[in-house]
Amino acid sequence: MNCQSGLISAAFNTFFAWTCAYAHSTAYCRLAIAALHDHVPVLHLLSELKSLKPDSHRFCVAPMMEWTDRHCRTFLRLISARAFLYTEMVTADAVLHGDRLRVLGFNAAEHPVGLQLGGSDPARLAEAARIGADWGYDEINLNIGCPSDRVQSGRFGACLMAEPALVADCIRAMADAVCVPVTVKCRIGIDDQDTEESLDRFVDTVADAGSRMFIVHARKAWLDGLSPKENRDVPPLDYDRVHRLKTRRSDLAIVINGGLASLPNAAPHLVHVDGVMLGRAAYADPYLMADVDRTLYGEAEAPLSRFEVLDRFIDYVQSELDRGVRLNAMTRHILGLFHGQPRARAFRRHIAEHAHLPGAGIEVLRHARDIVSGDMLGADAAEKTSAAA
């Protein structure tokens, strides 16, 4: 190495370490700084830092507006230690100009967790991604899948599947700004697009810009004539199209999403793709995630029982109440914990009728626990015995 190239390399290493110091709490940037001290080549390091672990996304919970906030994610993490969680979609402008503690704040126990951004301006997205990485998120995901009119009017979401070059510019700018992986969530196509040609072109273009993982909802999005709810149900599912994408681009991590209702329903897709993502099914029946760590990640430890999950969440709720958080902002996420179990309806009803009242406190949850345990005496031990079997 000549003197000039040595100086350039040293300057780049110093700049890279300085940049990563902003996000020193993330595993990626701690690795970066340690590796730089050992003189690991920068380009090799960048490749290693932004790569995804082979099994990191075998099971994911979808980003869901008004649902997957920090309280929801803390609750879900009590059920599965390995599932990859995502924030609600946050617009780049909200990150740049909003209350960052409210928009980005999260509990360290939530890791691994990704920040999903919405937008179409490369510079704004890059800055929002940098800020998100600084806050400690493990991944930055770009939303190219939401079909709502409001999202389209802001020129982000599924409508951007018609502009792969612009999406590539956004991904390139974001990837250049952060030390963590930048990924994409998209559909198999929009409107009258040929899903074979258009999806391949979109993925190839965006992958070349730096995204190594695509979460693909196996439906088209119809941008005119269907509501967001209808777009989740009306366009037919085409799982085979997502499988073919993985076969064609085996170098990319592909996660399949859309219509997956349970772990037994989702797991067979792992023969074809790298991961599965559940949304509303996991929210409505969160304890379906109890088998994720052992079944999909090979963990030996038995999951917490429903009652143990509730007890630990009660401790969390008390700490948040002490900070001024409203009770129903947290309890609304746990209504499905006892889905399919005796007295689950009474559990839900008690919380729904009391958690929103002025002055409602932790006694609402404790009473709800007493209600659901009335017909489930010994269920705690039975669940643990069953889980260990």
Q: Quick one: average pLDDT of 8-27?
A: 39
Q: Quick one: average pLDDT of 191-196?
A: 88
54 found inside a domain: no
- Listed in sequence order, the DSSP H helices in the chain are 3-21, 27-37, 42-49, 70-79, 92-97, 100-104, 122-134, 149-153, 164-177, 195-208, 228-233, 239-248, 263-266, 280-284, 292-297, 306-321, 328-331, 344-354, 363-373, 379-388
369 found inside a domain: yes
Among 36-40, 143-147, 274-278, 384-388, where is mean pLDDT lowest?
A: 36-40
Same domain, 286 and 319: no
Which tens digit of pLDDT belongs to each residue from 252-271?
999 999 999 999 999 999 99
Same domain, 350 and 239: no
Segments forming the whole domain that contains residue 32: 3-49
Same domain, 15 and 140: no
Which tens digit of pLDDT belongs to each residue from 105-123?
999 999 999 999 999 999 9
In the chain, how many domains are there? Answer: 3
State the pTM of this model.
Answer: 0.84
Options 20, 29, 72, 146, the catalytic residue: 146
Percentage with pLDDT > 90 across the chain: 73
Q: Is pLDDT of 301 > 80?
A: yes
20 is catalytic: no
Q: Is pLDDT of 43 > 60?
A: no
- What CATH number did the domain enclosing 381 receive? 1.20.120.1460
Same domain, 291 and 210: yes
Residues 317, 300: Cα–Cα separation, whole Å = 29
Q: Is pLDDT of 209 > 70?
A: yes
Q: Quick one: average pLDDT of 56-60?
A: 97
Same domain, 273 and 319: no
Q: If you count them, how many residues does the chain have? A: 389
